[in-house]
Structure 1
Amino acid sequence: MNSTQATAGARLAGHALVEALIAQGVTDVFGVPGESYLAVLDGFHEHRDSIRFIACRQEGGAAFMAEAQGKLTGRPGICFVTRGPGATNASIGLHTAFQDSTAMILFIGQVASDQRDREAFQEVDYRQMFGPGTLGMAKWVGEVQDADRLPEYVARAFHTALQGRPGPVVLVLPEDMLTKATQAPVLPLVRAAEAAPTPAALAELRERLLAAKKPLVIVGGGGWTADSTAALQRFAEAWHLPVGCAFRFQDLFDNSHANYAGDVGIGISPKLAARVREADLILAVGPRLGEMTTGGYTLLQAPRPAQQLVHIHGGAEELGRVYAADLAINASMSCAAQALAALEVPTTVPWKEWTAAAQADYQANQVAEPASPLDMAEVVRGLSTLLPEGTVFTNGAGNYSGWLHRFHRYTALHRFGRTQLAPTSGAMGYGVPAAVAAALIQPDRWVVNIAGDGDFLMTGQELATATGYGAKRLISVVVDNGTYGTIRMHQEREYPGRVSGSDLFNPDFAALAQAYGWRAARIERTEDFEPALREALASPERPTLLHLRLDADVSTSRTTLSKIRAAALQSQNNA
């Protein structure tokens, strides 16, 4: 036996699984209990002083919490669900982890081995359902048939989730396997092997930078650490480079930094979009360069951009999959950022004014026309001003998120840890569970969720999870305009005045939150927001929900539904 392996006596495989998780440094797991993995639940009870099973109210919420855990910790987030309905409910969190490049492991209880392939109660073939691939939901789907090999499978799951491009893994657990006795050893902590840029690639990168006149860095993707974001900042400072953050990766570079150019995603500033097109060299460090970051593959034309493209990514399979880069470098973010920071710096560069102009454009985009009676730009500014630095902000999907992404200035990961939890997959319902997870995992930090009314009610029942497990320093802001705003916006643009299916009937969100044991306040005017927020901050021992009531015409941080409709009608008339 390897000296790094711990010997173990005979115990249930379900208990051995919990021991394997503890050995990987896991202290919290999320899930909904099911009869298919009772032996594992008993293992959590056995080891309750070392690991906590957080029982959620729906598997989608549990999977979102595990995905948020992966973002916050840099280690795989852990979720347990039962077979069939449990697994299908959890698939939304798995898909989010895949598109967001977040390490996560979904454990699924399965029917007993002697009942397989009979369409037994709730039976699903998870290799077919989550099949690995570039357009699947998981990097790997494994099923453990032999209890003695369970620690081996768990170690492989951690390796796979962390290696290269981080992502989710599914491990299927037949019910009868979990109740067998095993003496399998506990395996050591898994650490990802990292690829580093070659000297030749770094030399070519430096030559391309020196030949550029208008370079732009776009940073994003998974696998970042505090050390690597700090190294990236040193590189940008030394070379006077403008840095934009890919869609919903705004906390990878300090938004208050003089080199920050803004976020390259949905609702991108028109001036920043023009700057991306005008750049003669794009240095993409970490992002996949997906649809949202590239403006539907138009800011960077696929497959061959007009700009020079240097693409650095942790997953070799991602390089060249969409874009034919001028230079492709397979490297982990840690190795890549440290290598960039060590590049020999020239005595001068010709793009200092270009960088300063990018920062000036970002600053100008922080100014917006006042709105009444409730100004969402002022709401976000109030949150940013009154909450301490390092506050975690979460959101799901919807037009309301545009205010947060535009007007809040995220701090960089190396200063306070992750401060942005948001789904690049565009999954509605993400924000509430992510906020609950953050509040439970890192209880010393403030956490703020901003959710639309449609977004909130998809997973709002997880307020009960927050209450049940004593979440503190947690605020949820519900932006209620009585409509699925993004869909309504598209309807008004494509079929002006013909609303169908996007109107919502909503409850009294403040009363609903109070029923869950939260503090709550209803706010309809800008001047009422700050006092309500101050009351919430003065009561950190109890979560608070702030119900913001907006007119249905309010759409995004840039325009209104009436303006969109008028423009669409004018366009139709001109046609």
Structure 2
Amino acid sequence: MSETGRTGGQLLADALVAQGVEHLFCVPGESYLDFLDGLYAQRNRIATITCRFEAGAVHMAEAYGKLTGKPGVAAVTRGPGACHAAIGIHVAMQDSTPLVLLVGQIPSDETDRDSFQEVDYRRMFGPLCKWVTQIDDAARIPEQIAHAFDVAVSGRPGPVVVSISEDMQKELAVVRDAARAPVLAPHPAPDAMPRLMAMLAHAQRPLVILGGSCWTVEGRANIRDFCVANTLPVAVGFRRQGLFDGTLDNFVGDMGVGADPALVAAAKKSDLILAIGSRLGEAVSQGYTLFDLAGATPIVHVLPDAAEIGRVFRPALGITSDLNAFAAVAKATTPVANPAWAGWTKELRASRLASAKAPEYPGPLNLAVALQEMMAVLPADTIFASDAGNFATWPNRFTHVGEAQDFIGPTNGAMGYGVPAAIGAKITHPGRAVICFAGDGGFMMTGQELATAFHHDAPVVVLVFNNNMYGTIRMYQERAYPERISATRLTNPDFVKFIEAFGGYGELVEETAQLAPAVLRALASRKPSIIEIRVDPEQITNRATITQLRAAAKA
């Protein structure tokens, strides 16, 4: 440790190293020049990813957090930079993703003068994250950064915002770095599994709903083994398809926006819900209508944060536990002998397969068939990153994410998530194929981040579902105000030329048989790529056309 001390900027970079940070996603700003200099000194230990928009940078960091269970780290400048970053913080909060955002701040002697780009981050970010702090004393950097990482992963994981004042980054301080704290995860109480298994033994129609974040590969395997050993039907929460092997006989679909009506009906008939990791939020619970709030349907709720258990639905049994720890204990538990629900599981699986069977859609492009043909040729460890929008219900309904694959998407419904999340995923796992699903609306919000993909050699493949509209809003519009189209039409560029302008690979798909070969060519190009899929705007969802919506609205 230097006798003369280190600057606050150096201490910040060193503190990130001490917490095991390997990647930092940022848009640079003058409010944290000294921290950037500290990162230069640590350039062989922390890869600094230069992004083009603050929301994109935070989405990339959030994708890192989703895929690793470790806090993703982003840095943005003060004022406008922090405002742009706020959407990523909202994603991380609602998706329960560990994340640490560093925000440059004005000099402390200018506080409360409405100084250039001044924002009170405690007030701004307070409702959006787990903890907001400001470091004004360089000597406290190791302490506060270490605590920020602890908060991000403790209990229900989530984002932490750390404001770093400009003058503090220049201060010299003599202080030791704070290492990561080895904290043992909470395990189920001793009587948790006996009580759960006793309830399960009396059930006739149980249903598992998997959700949550920070699952490890081992944890996913353990919960799979528990569910398979007990012949339990398993649904995943909204945009949580990566948590369970969709090809297994007890996978019964996803609960969320666009869920199979038959699965929703089955969930209402269930006599025991095992909500493992899922908060049973608005999307999963179909607007809080799926279950009786007072607990008429018995719910076993497993979450790492006791404050979240019973927050909306009163459980018959709440289990506070780290999800991976719970999965390990569950796997080691003797299964129920001759379960009464074996036929129920087969029924729900048959319903899932029937829903995933591609209908005879009119026109040259049957998107359901095309996606299934694509899935059949992709690597077994592909990562899928989904944006938000009506297009997303197509892969959700017609494809099955495999055991070694990952699927990430914004459970808070943030458009513009897909492209930067895919890039973050590729930077996190450079050896794996990454496929992004994005609508034309969401793509144009953050598509410029493909420049980041070229700059950092992250060859993602983006499927742009182009119907020249904000499809989700148009769907609701046609339901409520048929034929009164307002603010939902879009004018788009030629997406193939867009990617070619960067030097990437692009193809246009207009027929069913074109998609799978186009994706394989894109992967083989080893360049960031766009496959533009021209979809029929009349087919507004995978279950209804605009004409059908209008007819139903007028009936």
TM-score above 0.5, yes or no? yes
**Structure 2 contact 8–171 (Cα < 8 Å) conserved:** yes
* 2:489 maps to 1:503: yes
Q: CA deviation at 1:78?
A: 0.4
Q: How does 1:357-372 map to 2 (within 5 A)?
A: 357-371=347-361, 372=363
Q: Which residue in 2 is equivalent to 1:111?
A: 106
1:300 deviates by 1.8
Gaps of 5+ in 2: none
TM-score, structure 2 length as denominator?
A: 0.97
Q: Distance in 2 between matches of 1:339 and 1:544?
A: 43
Q: Equivalent of 2:174, from 183, 199, 205?
A: 183
Residue of structure 2 in register with 1:345 after alignment? 335
Q: Could you tell me whether the CA contact under 8 Å between 2:358 and 2:398 is conserved in 1? A: no
Change (3 A) 1:7 1:72: farther
Deviation at 1:187, TM superposition (A): 1.5
Q: 1:523–1:548: 8 Å Cα contact kept in structure 2?
A: yes
Shifted more, 372-381 versus 307-316: the winner is 372-381
SS at 1:347 equivalent: coil
Q: Distance in 2 between matches of 1:538 and 1:341?
A: 40
- Report the alpha carbon displacement of residue 8 of structure 1 after superposing the two structures with TM: 8.4
Q: 2: CA distance between counterparts of 1:313 and 1:169?
A: 20
| Cα pair 1:8 1:186 within 8 Å, conserved | no
Q: Report the RMSD for the aligned CA atoms in angstroms.
A: 1.4
Q: Distance in 1 between matches of 2:161 and 2:386?
A: 25
Task: Give me the whole-angstrom Cα distance separating, in 2, the residues matched to 1:212 and 1:532.
Answer: 48
The number of equivalent residue pairs is 554
The alpha-carbon deviation at position 335 of structure 1 amounts to 1.7
2:387 partner letter: G
Contact 1:23 1:189 in 2 (8 A): yes
Q: How do 1:452-463 residues align onto structure 2 when only pairs under 5 Å count? A: 452-463=439-450
Q: Work out the CA distance in 2 between the residues paired with 1:234 and 1:529.
A: 34
5 Å-filtered alignment, 1:40-59, equals 40-59=35-54
Deviation at 1:191, TM superposition (A): 4.5
Distance 2:3 2:94 in 1: 38
User: What corresponds to 2:310 in structure 1?
Assistant: 320
Give the letter aligned to residue 515 of structure 2: F
Deviation at 1:316, TM superposition (A): 1.3
CA deviation string 1:306-345 (max 9, x = no partner): 3111111111111121111111111110221112112232
Percent of residue pairs bearing the same amino acid type:
44
The one-letter amino acid paired with 1:373 is P
Partner secondary structure for residue 534 of structure 1: helix
Residues 464-483 of structure 1 aligned to structure 2 (within 5 Å): 464-472=451-459, 474-483=460-469
Structure 2: how far apart are the matches of 1:7 and 1:206?
58
Match of 1:200? 191
AA partner of residue 102 (structure 2) = F
> Is contact 1:164–1:194 with CA below 8 Å preserved after alignment?
no
* Separation in structure 2 between the aligned mates of residue 245 and residue 8 of structure 1, nearest angstrom: 55
1:154 and 1:357 mapped to 2: Cα distance?
A: 51
CA distance 1:236–1:8, change in 2 (3 Å): farther
Distance 1:485 1:16, change over 3 A: same
Mapped to 2, the partners of 1:508 and 1:138 lie a distance apart of 38
How far, CA to CA, are the matches of 2:228 and 2:388 in structure 1? 33
Residues 96-127 of structure 1, C-alpha deviation per residue, up to 9 Å, x if partnerless? Answer: 00000000011100001111111111111111
Q: Say whether 1:408 aligns with 2:413.
A: no
Contact 2:435 2:462 (8 Å CA) reproduced: yes
Alignment of 1:74 onto 2:64: no
Contact 1:147 / 1:177 at 8 angstroms: preserved in 2? Answer: yes
Give me the whole-angstrom Cα distance separating, in 2, the residues matched to 1:79 and 1:502. Answer: 33
AA at the equivalent of 1:552: P
Matched, 1:21 2:16: yes
Contact 2:22–2:46 (CA under 8 A) maintained in structure 1: yes
Task: Give 1:522 shift.
Answer: 1.7
The correspondence of residues 169-568 of structure 1 with structure 2, limited to 5 A, is 169-301=160-292, 303-371=293-361, 372-412=363-403, 415=404, 419-472=406-459, 474-540=460-526, 542-568=527-553
Counterpart selection for 2:118 from 113, 120, 123: 123
1:569 counterpart residue number: 554
Return 78-87 or 376-385, whichever deviates more. 376-385
| 1:156-193, Cα deviation, whole Å (9 max, x unpaired) | 00100000100000001001001111222122124454
Distance in 2 (CA, whole Å) between partners of 1:548 and 1:105 is 36
What is the distance in 2 between the residues matched to 1:304 and 1:513?
A: 53
In the TM superposition, what whole-angstrom CA distance separates every residue of 1:513-540 from its partner, at most 9, and x where no partner exists?
A: 1112211112222233233223213212
Q: Distance in 2 between matches of 1:80 and 1:448?
A: 26
2: CA distance between counterparts of 1:107 and 1:533?
Answer: 37
Which aligned segments of 4 or more residues in structure 1 are displaced greater than 3 angstroms?
6-9, 190-193
**1:369–1:177 CA distance, 2 compared to 1 (3 A):** same
Letter in 2 for 1:218: I
| Separation of aligned partners in 2, 1:368 and 1:535 | 25
Whole-Å separation in 2 of the counterparts to 1:348 and 1:9: 71
CA distance in 2, matches of 1:157, 1:38: 21
Unaligned 5+ segments in structure 1 are: 1-5, 571-575
Q: Is residue 159 of structure 1 aligned with residue 145 of structure 2?
A: no
C-alpha distance in 2 between matches for 1:347 and 1:529: 46
SS at match of 1:317: helix
Residue 374 of structure 2 contacts residue 515 of structure 2 at CA under 8 Å; is this kept in 1? no
Distance in 1 between the 2:513 and 2:251 partners? 31
